[in-house]
Amino acid sequence: MRIFKFKEIDSTNKFLKEMKEKEEYDTAIAETQVMGRGRRGNKWSSEKGGAYFSFLLKEDKNIAFEEYEKLPLVIGYSLLKTFESIEPELNFMFKWTNDIYIFDKKISGILVEKLGDYFIIGIGINLNNEIKGEAVNTAVSMGEITSKTYKIEEIIISVIEEFKKNLDFYFNGNWDKILFELNQKNYLLGKDLCIEYGMGKRETGKGLNIHKSGQLEIEISGEKKLFNVGKIHITKNN
């Protein structure tokens, strides 16, 4: 595992993606990103004080590719576990499929990309940064909640170590245990949702549990339906 540190970079995901000689768990950390990327082409605001990092996971060809479909959930679980160990009093929630929320605001996001044999796992955590502008309605940082200043690199290393442990746990047949805990922290449970998926399709319903397949169950007109990754809007907070 090599660590590449930058004061400023376009995007740590982009850096690892374009790096020639890749090694598993190579990690890129940046103090700021000028082109931080979020999911679905969104920009990830990356001001000084946040944790912005990416690391590489090599696909193991002995493991069925479908097993990797739950990777974002295993990463989310690892973020939850790390955050809970840092601030055990705070009620962090997992927003299927890729986000961690607290007080109805996003504190952390995950962007997983794939290139050749490698998954590029990018994580942004609002830690010591101040959320500005319109984003104050949807995002919050750990420091804004606790008024503490966190050691960014230490937290990044803890997240990666926690992930390694949980990936092992997952591949060793413990998905049910991870899923149980994720469902205890399922932010979308009981919420009125509108889900956009496929080519402009949308449905509304109530969020239920995360299913053992890793999909989200939504109750639509009295029927339970399973959804793959989609874009979820909460239409009413219950």
Binding residues for ligand BTN, per CB under 6 A?
Answer: 11-13, 33, 36-39, 42, 44, 52-54, 98-99, 109-111, 122-124
Nearer to ligand BTN, 54 or 215 (CB): 54
Smallest Cα–Cα separation from 59: which of 28, 24, 26, 27? 24
What is the nearest approach in angstroms of ligand BTN to the Cβ of residue 62? 28
Q: Residue 57's CB: how many other CB atoms inside 10 A? A: 20
Residue 93: HSE in the Cβ half-sphere, 13 Å Cα cutoff = 12
The identity of residue 93, as a single letter, is M
Dmax over Cα atoms in the chain, in whole Å? 52
What is the nearest approach in angstroms of ligand BTN to the Cβ of residue 28? 8
What is the nearest approach in angstroms of ligand BTN to the Cβ of residue 44? 4
What is the nearest approach in angstroms of ligand BTN to the Cβ of residue 40? 7
Q: Regarding beta strands 3-9 and 27-33, do their DSSP bridges make them parallel or antiparallel, or are they unpaired?
A: parallel
Residue number of the CB closest to ligand BTN reads 109
Nearer to ligand BTN, 10 or 219 (CB): 10
Q: What does the DSSP 8-state code read for residue 144?
A: H
